[in-house]
């Protein structure tokens, strides 16, 4: 008896913990959005009827998409160089990417506060070289949020893609050269297509991460660059509109899960190594 169910028994505490403390509470949160007496989707109608909230949603999507595109591009080029570097230099470059990753979001976002502020290094520099006479207000702009978010996610894309690039067998690259492909042709026709599944994984991580971010937009974007995360906090803790906050939460969950499922299906279809 015990033997037959041993697997279940051993896995039970962790499984139950996830179900009781994560699945059920989140389901309850989503559930409350459908409890409006005015109709099943009244909470969502309410959300999309507000121009301000629609704006927040579009802004968040825009910031996330731009952040994803830049992070992937920068991360891919850098990962390519890192993967090709000789042993010692490679570990050094990887450590240099791991360090910011292990340093918290708050610290890394705060760094941008110092840099972009009126007394910040960037303004001092611009004034010093005479580009501008008085400090520009760079904080609380969309550009600031995107810069800080890219900063947040580039180490992640570098590390993900280094792994992917290193998994491309060396002899496949050599086979390409032996068949007469120039380094550029090998990059375009062999390396890039084989890295697509990794790029998709990176895209999912960056997009979902930036769509649901709180600390960075709060510090660098403030009230003026309100995004879904900061809006949700404001609805819940300032306006005490829990149904409104739950609606935002539900939108985030649905979007995250949709993106993850769609992208992982795409990655599976595009992943030739899987078969």
Residues 34-73 touching another protein, rule: CB under 8 A, are none
Q: In the complex with another protein, which residue's Cβ is closer, 155 or 221?
A: 155
Q: In the complex with another protein, which residue's Cβ is closer, 96 or 131?
A: 96
Question: Least distance (Å) from another protein to the CB of residue 180?
Answer: 4
Q: In the complex with another protein, which residue's Cβ is closer, 22 or 131?
A: 22
SS (H, E, C) the chain: CHHHHHHHHHHHHHHHHHHHHHHHHHHHHHHHCCCCCCCCCHHHHHHHHCHHHHHHHHHHHHHHHHHHHHHHHHHHHHHHHHHHCCHHHHHHHHHHHHHHHHCCHHHHHHHHHHHHCCCCHHHHHHHHCCCCCCCCCCCCCHHHHHHHHHHHHHHHHHHHHHHHHHCCCHHHHHHHHHCCCCHHHHHHHHHHHHHHHHHHHHHHHHHHHHHCCCHHHHHHHCCCCCCHHHHHHHHHHHCCCHHHHHHHHHHHHHHHHHHHHHHHHHHHHHCHHHC
Among 47, 112, 153, 207, binds another protein (CB under 8 A): 112
Q: In the complex with another protein, which residue's Cβ is closer, 51 or 266?
A: 266
By CB under 8 A, the count of residues binding another protein is 110
- Per CB under 8 A, 13 contacts another protein: yes
Question: Least distance (Å) from another protein to the CB of residue 173?
Answer: 6
- Per CB under 8 A, 163 contacts another protein: yes
Question: Least distance (Å) from another protein to the CB of residue 107?
Answer: 4
- Per CB under 8 A, 245 contacts another protein: yes
Site for another protein in 177-236 (CB under 8 A): 177-183, 185-187, 189-190, 193-194, 208, 211-215, 218-219, 229, 232-233, 236
Question: Least distance (Å) from another protein to the CB of residue 55?
Answer: 19
- Per CB under 8 A, 6 contacts another protein: yes
Contact characters 72-101, another protein, x per CB under 8 A: --x--xx-xxx-x-----xx-xxxxxxxx-
Whole-number Å distance between alpha carbons of 181 and 187: 9
- Per CB under 8 A, 136 contacts another protein: no
CA distances from 268 to 157, 163, 165, 198 (A): 19, 17, 17, 11
Question: Least distance (Å) from another protein to the CB of residue 200?
Answer: 14
């Amino acid at each position: 008896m015990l033997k037959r169910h041993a697997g279940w028994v051993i896995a039970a505490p962790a499984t139950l913990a996830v179900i009781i403390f994560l699945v059920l509470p989140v389901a309850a949160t989503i559930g409350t959005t459908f409890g409006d007496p005015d109709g099943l989707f009244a909470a969502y109608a309410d959300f999309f009827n507000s121009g301000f909230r629609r704006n927040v949603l579009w802004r968040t999507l825009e910031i996330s998409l731009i952040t994803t595109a830049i992070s992937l591009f920068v991360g891919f080029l850098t990962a390519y160089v890192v993967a090709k570097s000789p042993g010692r230099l490679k570990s050094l470059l990887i450590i240099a990417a791991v360090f910011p990753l292990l340093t918290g979001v708050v610290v890394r976002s705060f760094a941008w506060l110092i840099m972009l502020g009126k007394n910040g290094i960037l303004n001092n520099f611009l004034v010093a070289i005479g580009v501008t006479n008085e400090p520009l207000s760079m904080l609380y702009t969309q550009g600031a949020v995107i810069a800080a978010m890219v900063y947040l996610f580039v180490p992640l894309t570098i590390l993900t893609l280094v792994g992917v690039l290193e998994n491309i067998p060396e002899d496949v690259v050599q086979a390409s050269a032996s068949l007469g492909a120039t380094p550029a042709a090998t990059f375009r026709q062999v390396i890039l297509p084989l890295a697509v599944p990794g790029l998709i994984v990176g895209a999912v991580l960056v997009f979902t991460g930036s769509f649901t971010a709180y600390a960075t937009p709060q510090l660098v974007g403030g009230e003026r660059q309100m995004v879904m995360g900061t809006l949700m906090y404001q609805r819940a803790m300032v306006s005490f509109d829990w149904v409104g906050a739950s609606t935002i939460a539900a939108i985030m969950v649905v979007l995250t899960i949709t993106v993850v499922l769609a992208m992982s299906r795409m990655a599976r279809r595009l992943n030739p190594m899987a078969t």
